[in-house]
Structure 1
Amino acid sequence: MLAAGVLWATVGPAQVFADSPAGPVALGGARILTGGLVLALVVLATRRDAFRTLTRSAWPPLLAASCATGVFQAAFMSSVARTGAAVATAVAFGVAPVSTGVVERIALGTRFSRGWVVGTCAAVLGCALVVTPDGPVHVDPYGVLLGVVSGGCYGVYTVAAKRLTGDRVDMRAAVSVTLLIGGSFLAPWTLSRLPDLGTARSLLVAGWLGPVTAALAYSLFVAGLRRVTAATAGTLSLAEPLVATALAVLFLGERMSVPVAAGSVLLLGGLVVVSIPGRPSRRPERAGGLPSAAADAPGVRVRTGPRRVRRGSA
C-alpha cells in the first residue's frame, strides 16, 4: 500500500519536471490508458486465461471501479486547475479516507477499530497541515466541490477493488480493464491533444506515468488490499501527499515551514498507528487450526463467540 502511495506521489513532480504542453486531463487520460495497455500485455504474456476469471459476478464492482477511476482523474485535475494544488489536495485526500470508510461500512459492513479512528483523524489533520499554502489562498467553490467528488471516487474505487479481491479473479487483469475503461472516459480530451502528447517531453513523462505510476502502482495497491481493509487502505493513501511534500523539498527547492513539518510528523504518526495490526483476544480458526487472515488485518474487529467443548472428549 505504501509503495503504491510513493509511486503515486511522483506524478505531480514528474509533471513539473516534464512541463508537458498537453493539458492535465489529456495527460491523465494518457496515463491510465497507457498503464492499462501495458498491464494487459503483461497479463496476456504471463497468463493467457487471466481475463476469463472476470466472470459475470465480477463486472458490477469492476465497472464501479472503472467509472471511479475515470471520474477521479478528471475531477481532481480540474479541481487543481480551478482552486490550486494545495486546496485540491487537502480536500481530495482529506475526504478519501472518510469516504472509503463510509462506503466500506455501507457496502461490506466492516466495523472500525479504535486505532483506525485515531490514526485516520491524526493523518487527515496532518494532511491538512502538510498542504497548507504559505501565501494567500484562492478557494473556488466549484473547485472544492470537484475535490470532494474526487475523494469520494477514491473511496468507491477502493471498496470496489476490495470486493474484487474476495472473488476468484486475476486482479492484474481486473486492474488493466479498470484502467482501460476509465481511460476511455477521458478519450475525447486525450485524442484532442495528441499533437501535444507526441512531443518529447510528453512522451518522456508518459513513459513514467503509465507503466510505473499506473500499471505498477495500481497492481501494488490491489495486492495490498488482500491483507488490509478498504478503510485502512484509504488512510494509507495519505502517504501520497507526505511523499510529494518530501520530493518538493528535496528536488524542487521548496522550504518546509513549521506547519508543514508538524503536519508531516502527525501524518506519519497516523499512518504508523493505522498500519499496526490489532491484537484480538481470540482468533477465529479455520479448518485445521489455521488462524484467519481477516483477524490480522488492521482496522478490523472480528467477533468470536465462546468455544464449545464436548463433554467426554479429549
Structure 2
Amino acid sequence: MQEKLAAFMVLLAAILWGTTGTAQALAPEAAHSVVIGAVRLALGGIPLFMIVLLLGKLNLSHWPVKETLLASLCMASYQPLFFSAVTMTGVAIGTVIAIGSAPILSGMIEWVFLNKSPSKVWWYSTVLSVMGCIMIFVNKESMNVDPYGIVMALGAGLSFACYTFVSGKLVGKHPPIVIVAVVFSISAVILSPLLFLYDLSWIKEGNGFAVSLHLGIVATGFAYFLFAKGLIHLPSSTAVTLALGEPLTAALLGVFLIGEHLALTPWIGIGFMLVGIGMLILNSEDRNIETDFFVSK
C-alpha cells in the first residue's frame, strides 16, 4: 500500500511540474525562461529552508555533504541545460529528448551503481510512456535538429536522472522536507548570478508575481517535496518514468486552458502514457534504501 501511495505522490509531483508551461505562458513577455528557472529554485528552496530552520528540523550532524552537493549541482544544471536545449532545438525536440531520455538514463544508472536491472513492467511502461511523449509533441512545430541543442537536452535528462538517484539516497537518511529545502537552496545560490544578468522588473507586475509564486512554491517546493516523499518507497527509475506525467499534464492543460488543438496522433500518445503510467503504479515495488551510493557492479 505504501508503494502505491508513493507512486501517486510522484505522479502528483509530475502533474504540478506539468503546470509550469502554462504558467510561463501567462507570465509577462519580459520574463526570460532561464531567469524563470532561477527564480523558481529560489522561491521553491529558500522559503522551505526558513520553515525548516524555524521548526528546528535542520540537524547537520552526520549530514551527507557529498550527496547533497551532487544533487544540488544536478538540479542547478538541469535548468539552463533544458531551457537552452528548448531554445536551440525547439520545444518539441528539446522536451522529448530531455524528458524522454531521463527514464532510460535512470535505469542505466541503477544498473551501473546498484547492479539492479529494471523489471519487465518498468520496461513496458517506459517504452509506452516515452512513445506517448514523442507522439504528443510530433508535428507540433518544424524540426530544428541542432546537435549542440540535442547534447544539452541529453544533459538535462541525465541531470534529472542523477538528481533522482542521489535524492533517493538522501531521503533514507533525513526527512524529505529538509532534503528539498537544503538542496534547492544550494541550487538557487549556484544559479543566483543569472538574476543579475537579466531584467527582473516583470516580477513586480501582478501576473509576474503570481506566476513566480506558483512556479516556486507550488510547482517546485511542494512538488519536489512530494517527489522526495515518494522516493522513500520507489526506485529512482520508477520515479523518473512516473515523472513523464509532466508532459502529459502540460498537453492536457494546453488543450483545456490555453485552447490548443491536438490531432489524433497526440491523443493516441496521451492514451499510451496513461496506460504506461497506470501499469507502473499498479505494479509498484518497494525500493531498497539501504544500498550504499557508490556500489560498483
- TM-score, normalised to structure 2's length? 0.89
Q: How many angstroms apart in 2 are the aligned matches of 1:75 and 1:36?
A: 20
Shift of 1:197: 4.5
Task: Tell me the residue number matched to 2:120.
Answer: 114
Task: Tell me the residue number matched to 1:6.
Answer: 15
Secondary structure class of the residue paired with 2:201:
helix
Q: Determine whether 1:28 maps to 2:37.
A: yes
Task: Tell me the residue number matched to 1:93.
Answer: 99
Task: Tell me the residue number matched to 1:153.
Answer: 159
54 and 266 in structure 1: CA distance in 2 versus 1, 3 angstrom threshold: farther
In structure 1, what residue type is equivalent to 2:192? A
Q: Determine whether 1:261 maps to 2:267.
A: yes
Output one character per residue of 1:66-110: Cα deviation in whole Å (capped at 9) or x when no partner.
000000001001111111111111001110101111112222333
Q: How many angstroms apart in 1 are the aligned matches of 2:143 and 2:217?
A: 35
Q: How many angstroms apart in 2 are the aligned matches of 1:59 and 1:154?
A: 19
In structure 2, what residue type is equivalent to 1:52? N
Task: Tell me the residue number matched to 1:285.
Answer: none
Q: Tell me, yes or no, if the aligned pair for 1:94 and 1:151 is still in contact at 8 Å.
A: yes
Shift of 1:54: 5.9
Task: Tell me the residue number matched to 2:68.
Answer: 62
Q: How many angstroms apart in 2 are the aligned matches of 1:193 and 1:173?
A: 30
In structure 2, what residue type is equivalent to 1:157? Y
Q: Tell me, yes or no, if the aligned pair for 2:41 and 2:187 is still in contact at 8 Å.
A: yes
Runs of 4+ in structure 1 off by over 3 angstroms are: none
218 and 135 in structure 1: CA distance in 2 versus 1, 3 angstrom threshold: closer
Q: How many angstroms apart in 2 are the aligned matches of 1:10 and 1:299?
A: 31
63 and 135 in structure 1: CA distance in 2 versus 1, 3 angstrom threshold: closer
Task: Tell me the residue number matched to 2:53.
Answer: 44
Shift of 1:139: 2.0
Task: Tell me the residue number matched to 2:292.
Answer: none
Aligned with residue 181 of structure 1, among 186, 190, 198: 186
Q: How many angstroms apart in 1 are the aligned matches of 2:139 and 2:288?
A: 32
275 and 190 in structure 1: CA distance in 2 versus 1, 3 angstrom threshold: same
Task: Tell me the residue number matched to 1:233.
Answer: 239
Aligned with residue 297 of structure 1, among 283, 286, 289: 286
Q: How many angstroms apart in 2 are the aligned matches of 1:72 and 1:245?
A: 21
Task: Tell me the residue number matched to 1:304.
Answer: none
Aligned with residue 195 of structure 2, among 174, 181, 190: 190
Q: How many angstroms apart in 1 are the aligned matches of 2:35 and 2:144?
A: 24
Task: Tell me the residue number matched to 2:220.
Answer: 214
Q: How many angstroms apart in 1 are the aligned matches of 2:191 and 2:66?
A: 21
Aligned with residue 251 of structure 1, among 240, 250, 257: 257
Secondary structure class of the residue paired with 1:254:
coil
In structure 2, what residue type is equivalent to 1:186? L
Task: Tell me the residue number matched to 2:143.
Answer: 137
Q: Tell me, yes or no, if the aligned pair for 2:49 and 2:185 is still in contact at 8 Å.
A: no
- TM-score, normalised to structure 1's length? 0.84
Q: How many angstroms apart in 1 are the aligned matches of 2:196 and 2:117?
A: 44
Identity, in percent, stands at 30
Q: How many angstroms apart in 1 are the aligned matches of 2:188 and 2:36?
A: 10
Q: Tell me, yes or no, if the aligned pair for 1:101 and 1:234 is still in contact at 8 Å.
A: no
In structure 2, what residue type is equivalent to 1:191? F
Q: How many angstroms apart in 2 are the aligned matches of 1:197 and 1:227?
A: 40
134 and 52 in structure 1: CA distance in 2 versus 1, 3 angstrom threshold: closer
Shift of 1:194: 5.1
Q: How many angstroms apart in 2 are the aligned matches of 1:166 and 1:298?
A: 11
In structure 2, what residue type is equivalent to 1:188? P
Task: Tell me the residue number matched to 1:83.
Answer: 89
Shift of 1:299: 11
Q: How many angstroms apart in 2 are the aligned matches of 1:255 and 1:243?
A: 15
